[in-house]
């Protein structure tokens, strides 16, 4: 049946978010057309809406937002063999455009030539219909809902973070920040065998959620110095954590993370803060604390699907709000005010 409507959430520039009807996109070579089911809102979508930019990416032409999506295949482009019309898929939004050395070595997230949904100049997924490279669409089993499928993108960030943070069986872990990314890191660290996880935040509500989903300890950051926080972490865990996963971007937490982490351990920087940050570098250097970075993720989607299908992680308690696509502006306002954890847009209920 021909489709005439493709309601989409478009960012035009700072503070300018609009609902618009766009043409329904047709799939090209190796692409699939998807009827979008669920798309989660990320802080970066909110940032594009409020500031018209993110880091060095500027919205020059109106751009559809959204990169945390799951949809149902409605059309196959030429060359697509592994998917069928009717399959439900999770969409890996970022993929390399060239098979360069980073791709060949398996670290395709570091390729300088990346397509990424909702990163200028490319449209995102907050539409009724969206077209994507079929090789980066992962079929969901019946046991994984489309809502869980939409969670695979931020879950992937947490899987990559826990890998880079060297989380291992029996380890004690500090997570700074109990937003969606910090909470997903908590779930993944636990499922990878972390013995104890302590999580800190400024928000009591977010720390309550952390407790609910399995944090062993929570610390509300008040008027502490970074050293005070490090001492509190050591006091609750009984020793310093093996790794710190920093998910706030706050300079304070980067500093506290270095002081808190045990000698020989790892501080993993997930959060994006200012470009220049003051770090207790000598403290890290003389204790062989590795400070590592990360960018998005790679090779995580099949793992994430298996974790969800086997119930190793349960992301559903992190969904605080659900809205039909037509109420996207309201959903963005709630995300911006940090009134919940994960806000989901139901694009098949426009």
Chain residues that interact with ligand NAD, rule: CB under 6 A: 43, 157, 176-182, 200-203, 206, 221, 247-250, 252-253, 270-272, 294-296, 338
Nearer to ligand NAD, 75 or 160 (CB): 160
Least distance from Zn ion to the Cβ atom of residue 40, Å: 8
181 binds Zn ion (CB under 5 A): no
Nearest C-alpha neighbor of 96 from the set 327, 234, 295: 295
Residue 124 binds which one of ligand NAD, Zn ion, none, with CB within 5 to 8 A depending on kind?
none
Least distance from Zn ion to the Cβ atom of residue 51, Å: 15
The β-bridge partners of 200 are: 176, 219
Nearer to Zn ion, 44 or 299 (CB): 44
Burial of 304 (0-12, 13-18, 19+ CB in 10 A): buried
42 binds Zn ion (CB under 5 A): yes
Least distance from ligand NAD to the Cβ atom of residue 64, Å: 19
**Stretch binding Zn ion (CB under 5 A), from 16-24, 38-46, 133-141, 177-185:** 38-46
Least distance from ligand NAD to the Cβ atom of residue 156, Å: 9
Nearer to Zn ion, 42 or 289 (CB): 42
Closest residue to bound ligand NAD by CB: 179
Nearer to ligand NAD, 37 or 248 (CB): 248
213 binds Zn ion (CB under 5 A): no
The half-sphere exposure of 325 on its side-chain side, counting CA atoms within 13 A, is 28
**Stretch binding Zn ion (CB under 5 A), from 43-51, 170-178, 293-301, 305-313:** 43-51
Nearer to ligand NAD, 9 or 341 (CB): 341
Nearer to ligand NAD, 128 or 255 (CB): 255
155 binds Zn ion (CB under 5 A): no
Nearer to ligand NAD, 47 or 139 (CB): 47
Least distance from Zn ion to the Cβ atom of residue 73, Å: 23
Nearest C-alpha neighbor of 200 from the set 341, 187, 239, 216: 216
Least distance from Zn ion to the Cβ atom of residue 278, Å: 27
247 binds Zn ion (CB under 5 A): no
Nearer to Zn ion, 233 or 331 (CB): 331
Closest residue to bound Zn ion by CB: 42
Residues that bind Zn ion (CB under 5 A): 42, 44
């Amino acid at each position: 049946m021909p489709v005439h409507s493709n309601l989409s959430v478009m960012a035009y520039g700072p503070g300018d978010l609009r609902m618009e009807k766009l043409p329904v996109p047709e799939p090209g070579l190796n692409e699939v057309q998807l009827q979008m089911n669920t798309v989660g809102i990320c802080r970066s979508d909110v940032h594009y809406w409020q500031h018209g930019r993110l880091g060095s990416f500027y919205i020059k032409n109106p751009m559809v937002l959204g990169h945390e999506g799951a949809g149902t295949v409605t059309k196959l482009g030429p060359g697509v063999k592994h998917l069928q019309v009717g399959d439900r898929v999770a969409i890996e939004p970022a993929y390399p455009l060239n098979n360069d050395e980073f791709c060949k070595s398996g670290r395709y997230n570091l390729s300088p030539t990346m397509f990424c949904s909702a990163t200028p100049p490319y449209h995102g997924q907050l539409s009724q219909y969206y077209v994507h490279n079929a090789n980066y669409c992962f079929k969901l089993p019946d046991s994984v809902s489309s809502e869980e499928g939409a969670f695979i993108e931020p879950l992937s960030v947490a899987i990559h973070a826990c890998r880079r943070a060297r989380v291992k069986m029996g380890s004690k872990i500090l997570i700074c920040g109990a937003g969606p990314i910090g909470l997903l890191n908590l779930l993944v660290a636990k499922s990878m065998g972390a013995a104890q996880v302590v999580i800190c935040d400024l928000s009591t509500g977010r720390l309550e959620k952390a407790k609910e989903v399995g944090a062993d300890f929570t610390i509300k950051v008040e008027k502490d110095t970074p050293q005070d926080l490090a001492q509190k972490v050591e006091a609750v865990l009984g020793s310093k954590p093996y790794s710190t996963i920093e998910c706030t971007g706050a300079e304070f937490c980067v500093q506290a993370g270095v002081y808190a982490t045990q000698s020989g351990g790892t501080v993993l920087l997930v959060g994006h803060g200012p470009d220049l940050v003051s770090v207790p570098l000598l403290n890290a250097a003389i204790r062989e604390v590795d400070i590592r970075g990360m960018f998005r993720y790679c090779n995580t989607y099949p793992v994430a699907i298996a974790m969800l299908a086997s119930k190793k992680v349960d992301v559903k308690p992190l969904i605080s709000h659900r809205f039909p696509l037509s109420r996207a502006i309201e959903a963005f306002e709630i995300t911006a005010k940090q009134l919940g954890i994960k806000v989901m847009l139901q694009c098949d209920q426009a």
